[in-house]
Amino acid sequence: MIQKDSDTICAIATANGHAGIGIVRLSGPKAISISKKIIGISLKPRRATLVDMTLASSELIDRGIALFFKSPHSFTGEDVVELHGHGGSQVLVSLLNQCVALGARLAAPGEFSERAFLNGKIDLLQAEAIADLINASSAQAARSAMRTLQGVFSGKINQLVRDITKIRVDVEAAIDFSDEDIDIMESARVSDAMQTANHHFTQVFQAAQQGLVIKDGITVVLAGIPNAGKSSLLNALAGSDTAIVTNIPGTTRDVLRQEINLNGLPIHIIDTAGLRYSKNVVEQEGVRRALSALDEADLILLVTDSTMYSDQDLSPIVETLCAGNYDGDTADEKKSPAEINHLLSRLCVVFNKIDLISNSKSGVSSTSYREHELKLFRLSAKTNEGLNELRDHLVEIAGYQNIGEGNFSARERHLTALSDAQEALSSAIFGLGENLPLELIAEDLRRVQAYLGAITGEVTSDDLLGEIFSSFCIGK
């Protein structure tokens, strides 16, 4: 067991505020001796005991329940004591201060979980899942975090590690025991195993991608000329009057954010100021913010007014957005082709206000535009006609399939490591096909394993651990 340090740490483990119960948690070698000085008795493991909690002056702080989890059978793997008092901040702060006065140290954010990880109680994926469970913003996200916490994702990574280990054994043996090249039979077997592993990587990556979408959702930015109905569309999607709607162009000056939930998928909608050239400095700043919001969008809904524009005007509408020149200075440098492609790949056009056009039907269609497939929605933010089609497409565009029980939570870090690992595996597959020296292939496979190890925390740097656990809340 790795023991990071021998400090005994303490923290208030419950949320700040008024509540029926509040908990101070102690973990470390002195947990029992410190708690004994506060409650006056020795605790038996796993037995809820009614205790008086007092200061050194024997002034009573609170009366409540004390619990003792003896090492290694605790969350952190160390001796853990929980003091359950009343959930008012004065009580809990007094208790905490008393723990510190008796030799404990205030825990850093995530330090309990970090100790659980360092003591081998959970792997890194599970530790991260705890934070994701606590921060889950939908039932779906909570469920998938719980599945990662239960080890579903770890199991898949460990299976990949086993795949790779088997291949490594073959390759390393061939290096050690043969002066000649790897023989044909063996080479075919290794090649098959690599292809199979590669296929498993793709499956795990796709599942992890879903996990990331469920956790973080997608960001949708509403952009377009003033008065097109962007704020109305935000309100319609949110089902509430979040944004001010008027018939005065230029009403929205700042960037407005609202989170909605579609089939359990969090969607962060950003409403922006109408895009146009304005002499008003406040509006100019609004336009600047609108344009920079486009950068964080997974999806851009370019909203237009059907009474003013039709399909024939698609090109000028889209090109104006691509050019992004709203400061009246046409001499500005244009966006690079790569930037324009990136923008177009995330773009959909919304023809709003179809209620004002006779015989116009709501719905979705697509058209090809500069090598991109552009989706066009016809709807009314006023009557809500066509809104459901947009909702369905938001979920679809997010690449989200409700695969129910198969879901587990994942983070960007895991996806990056998985794709790095798969890339190293591809290099090994290529090397084998090209008859490159086995040492090179072995090195690629070693890298595959190292990337996988970083996911579960088998191989990690202190920097990475610091980064992960510092984003936790205190007391967890």
Ligand X SMILES: Nc1nc2c(ncn2[C@@H]2O[C@H](COP(=O)(O)OP(=O)(O)O)[C@@H](O)[C@H]2O)c(=O)[nH]1
Residues at the contact surface with Mg ion, assessed by CB under 5 A: 230-231, 252
Choose one: 66-74, 153-161, 224-232, 336-344; the region binding ligand X (CB under 6 A): 224-232
CB of 280 to ligand X, least distance (A): 15
Pair of tokens at residue 26: 């102690």
- Closer CB to Mg ion, residue 305 or residue 458? 305
- Closer CB to ligand X, residue 245 or residue 302? 245
CB of 232 to Mg ion, least distance (A): 8
* Per-residue binding letters, 373-392, with ligand X (x by CB under 6 A): -------xxx----------
How far apart (Å, rounded) are the C-alpha atoms in residues 396 and 123?
Answer: 33
CB of 421 to ligand X, least distance (A): 45
- Closer CB to ligand X, residue 22 or residue 274? 274
DSSP 48-73: -EEEEEE-TT--EEEEEEEEEE-TTS
Name which of Mg ion, ligand X, none residue 314 binds, using a CB cut-off of 5 to 8 Å depending on partner kind: none
**57, 174, 177, 183, 437 from 180: Cα distances, Å:** 81, 9, 9, 8, 11
Pair of tokens at residue 19: 């509540």
Query: In this chain, which of 123, 128, 355, 444 binds ligand X, going by CB under 6 A?
Result: 355
CB of 297 to ligand X, least distance (A): 16
Q: According to the binding rule CB under 6 A, does residue 475 interact with ligand X?
A: no
* Per-residue binding letters, 259-298, with ligand X (x by CB under 6 A): ---------------x------------------------
CB of 243 to Mg ion, least distance (A): 6
Q: Which residue from 322, 320, 348 is spatially nearest to 225, judged by alpha carbons?
A: 320
CB 141 within 8 A of CB 214: yes
Q: According to the binding rule CB under 6 A, does residue 317 interact with ligand X?
A: no
Q: Which residue from 363, 375, 379, 364 is spatially nearest to 306, judged by alpha carbons?
A: 379
Pair of tokens at residue 8: 């005994």
Element holding 451 (H helix, E strand): helix 438-456
- Closer CB to ligand X, residue 34 or residue 394? 394
3-state secondary structure of 460: coil
Burial of 239 (0-12, 13-18, 19+ CB in 10 A): exposed
Binding site for ligand X (CB under 6 A): 226-232, 245-247, 251-252, 274, 352-353, 355-356, 380-382
